Structure 1
Amino acid sequence: MRQDRQRLDKWLWFARFAKTRSLAARLIADGYVRVNGQRAEAAAKPVAVGDVVTVAAAHATLAVRVLGLGERRGPAPEARLLYADLSADAPADPPAGSVTRG
């Protein structure tokens, strides 16, 4: 595989979206992972910096942009450097003109 790409299951494991690489592969096989809006069909699907990975986990659906390719499964702060959470860009306040009850 090219140096600017990494297997999806490995990246999910390095970024701590799965506790083991085999669990990452199962998430992919069961259809819970998308890359750039397309369902990932295989654990070996290559991901690159800039790709958007969406993971439909049991507790939430997360959309992240790949910022880096990992070299190892390190501590959580190191893993957090591999991606940018796109849901953090969502506005915290309701849009102007929306009706809220309080």
Structure 2
Amino acid sequence: MADTAMRLDRFLWFVRLVKTRPLAQALAEQGHFRIDGRPIAKAHVAVRPGNVLTFALNGTVRMLRIEALPARRGPCTEARTCYCDLANASQADRQD
């Protein structure tokens, strides 16, 4: 049976949003993340497909919907299939 949840820090590292897992843990524990609007202060919080992550990273606010849980830390093209960037989608809607 496939896993239905994954730790936040592991997800961030697997989908290449951060370079290291300890960096992902530090960001989560500093309270930089919200899952479905709820503030998160623990790296071990479980994320599932359908959750929306909101966080500030590298000077921009990111809003991602989790589409799938990755099985490994694979190439960037594989990692991008695991989430949908909602901030970019809303900007594209405004331009149309």
1: distance between equivalents of 2:79 and 2:87?
17
Segments of structure 1 that go 5 or more residues without pairing to the other structure are 95-102
Give the TM-score taking structure 1 as reference length: 0.84
For residue 24 of structure 1, give the secondary structure of its aligned residue in structure 2: helix
The structure with the largest alpha-carbon Rg is 1
Q: Give the residue type in structure 2 aligned to 1:93.
A: Q
Shift in Å, 1:3:
2.0
Amino acid at match of 1:27: L
Correspondence for 2:95: 93
Coordinate RMSD, CA, aligned: 1.6
Q: Which residue of the partner structure matches residue 34 of structure 1?
A: 34
Q: Shift of the alpha carbon at 1:13? A: 0.6
Q: Which has the higher helix share?
A: 2
Identity %: 37
- Alignment length (residue pairs): 93
Residue in 1 that maps onto 2:68: 68
Q: Does 1:51 align with 2:72?
A: no
> Which structure 1 residue ranges, 4+ long, deviate > 6 Å from structure 2?
none
Please name the residue that 1:15 is paired with. Answer: 15
The AA in structure 2 aligned to 1:15 is: V
CA shift at 1:58, angstroms? 2.5
Partner Cα distance (2:41, 2:8) in 1: 10
For 1:3 and 1:77, locate their aligned partners in 2 and report how far apart those are by CA, in whole Å.
21
How far 1:85 moved relative to its partner? Answer: 0.7
Q: Deviations over 1:31-63 (max 9, x none)?
A: 111111111121110000000011211221100
